[in-house]
A and B are shown apart, each in its own frame.
Chain A
């Protein structure tokens, strides 16, 4: 649905986006992570035909940027980083303007649908300027969806929202995912990316890595299993070390942490060894690094 090849953008001497090549499949939620100033918004602007690339090419929903810009704008929905509203106008009128510009057939129906879905219908006649930040953000999401875009670009959809509003927005994105829309999600909220995204690209001027959250964890930190025991000692650790596949065996209080390539296959064997060594096993679990750990590890020193 989204395809880029060596997509590049420079502002004067500043390289904003360097040779970005990626593919996002139809119905996929793709998380685009990177520090401030990494070029995420510039990438979104290029992919939504707001600005042109300096080099490379990209297609969105089969349309080529720079050649079929109007078609791209008609096909995609965009939630910009700081989505301004016409504050003097009602929420409904704000949406009406955009519905008409997107040539929506059932303007009234679509406005009603999204205002209700996002819990703003009761306030539809109030000026957008009277809305809280969370309500404005929801209104901006409604605006981006009025024309039922096949591809949705969300640039920091939960930035600056209180936890409740952010939760509501995340739930709404999850609903959109279920509808099978392709979503390109720029976010700093790594937990959000972890829960919502099928794949994640870590970006800092150029693409550092693209993979599923689970694979990213595995590739950066490996997979670690924690065995909670009544008593963990060196004898037990030695027993585990005797297994060929067990790496980096560490005792931490009454826990033994072991790096394994394939825990689903290898865990039963470790459990058997532990039982034979006289260990009383209380719990077994995978040590889960947060995506934040992965992200920091990736962007560190770049």
Chain B
């Protein structure tokens, strides 16, 4: 456990000395908080018709029924829909931030030649990978939670309509942020670590690792296209699938991390 702590502190000390990394970590959550708040602020307080009437002309009926309680106006409902879409994009935060950190984590040590002395210590592969994983996941989860907290607070300040506020902070989004978010971060990090241990160039590691944003984009575009509506049930299923996937990826990452190959293949 102490070695894991040492690895985490080492990673953070290194990563957060780099201003560009701090910028990367901070930029996306800020963007993903400011834009939906801007939408709410720009459209709040506008009177509209009941959802049961004209909303159905603007949103697919299933979507309107799932997202908007009957008391909401069509405009409020549209607002909920737009923010919901942004909330899907918000799920990029726990993926994009740790990928930036994790993708560099091993290949970076290869290029600076600091990996071999590290591997020569009594640290086990599991300790090393858990340390590197936590070092990337924790900032991402904290950034996600903080950004969501700011969004919730901002929504509370801006929106007078309690029903709208309840819809915006629906359980499905709370599950998504507080449960799926960390699980997504672990998935992104384990995948990035796997890539990072198999390539020789940090740029390749980062580019390939960004593939993990695809599931979120599928969710975003699927919902935009009206193929499905992410409700509490689907989000819970997603969380369970992610949990299984994370365990599998953690196992695979430790299997893929072959000290010998890592030391002898890169030049």
Chain A interface (Cβ < 8 Å from any Cβ of B): 11, 45, 48, 50-52, 70, 73-74, 76, 78, 80, 82-89, 93, 97-98, 100-103, 140, 143-144
Contact = CB atoms under 8 A, between A and B. Distances in A.
B264 A11 contact: yes
B10 interface: yes
B225 interface: no
A259 to B, nearest CB: 46
B123 interface: yes
Give the most central of A50, A74, A82, A87: most B CB within 10 Å: A50
Given A52-B260, A97-B10, A86 B121 contact: no
Contacts of A52: 260
B122 A84 contact: no
B115 interface: yes
A51 B263 contact: yes
B122 A83 contact: no
Contacts of A78: 117, 120
Nearest to A96: B6
B46 interface: no
A267 to B, nearest CB: 50
A80 B116 contact: yes
A71 to B, nearest CB: 8
Contact of A50 (B2, B13, B114, B259): B259
Give the most central of B109, B115, B259: most A CB within 10 Å: B259
B119 interface: yes
B255 interface: no
B264 A100 contact: no
Nearest to A83: B117
A145 to B, nearest CB: 12
A82 B113 contact: yes
B117 A100 contact: no
A75 B33 CA distance: 51
A140 B117 CA distance: 9
Contacts of A103: 2, 122
A93 B120 contact: no
A101 B112 contact: no
Given A78-B117, A89-B13, A51 B6 contact: no
Contacts of A100: 2-3, 6
A144 B116 CA distance: 12
A88 B10 CA distance: 11
Given A80-B120, A84-B113, A97-B9, 13 more contacts: A50-B119, A50-B263, A51-B260, A52-B260, A73-B120, A80-B113, A82-B113, A84-B112, A84-B117, A85-B114, A86-B14, A89-B14, A103-B2
Contacts of A89: 10, 13-14, 17
A101 B18 contact: no
Given A51-B263, A80-B117, A88-B14, A102 B112 contact: no
Contacts of B10: 86, 89, 97
B54 interface: no
A50 B6 contact: no
B114 to A, nearest CB: 4
A70 B122 CA distance: 5
Contacts of A144: 117
Contact of B121 (A85, A93, A101): A101
Closest 7 CB pairs of A and B: A84-B113, A84-B114, A101-B121, A88-B17, A100-B6, A51-B260, A74-B122
11 contacts: A51-B263, A70-B122, A74-B122, A80-B113, A80-B117, A86-B10, A87-B112, A97-B10, A100-B6, A103-B122, A144-B117
B113 A73 contact: no
B124 interface: yes
B123 A101 contact: yes
Nearest to A99: B6
Interface string B50-85: 000000000000000000000000000000000000
A76 B122 CA distance: 10
A48 B263 CA distance: 13
A83 B109 CA distance: 11
B117 A70 contact: no
Nearest to A84: B113
Contacts of B264: 11, 51
B121 A50 contact: no
Give the most central of B17, B114, B259: most A CB within 10 Å: B114
Contact of A101 (B3, B13, B116, B259): B3
A41 to B, nearest CB: 10
Contacts of A45: 263
B6 A97 contact: yes
A84 B116 contact: yes
B14 A50 contact: no
Interface in B132-146: none
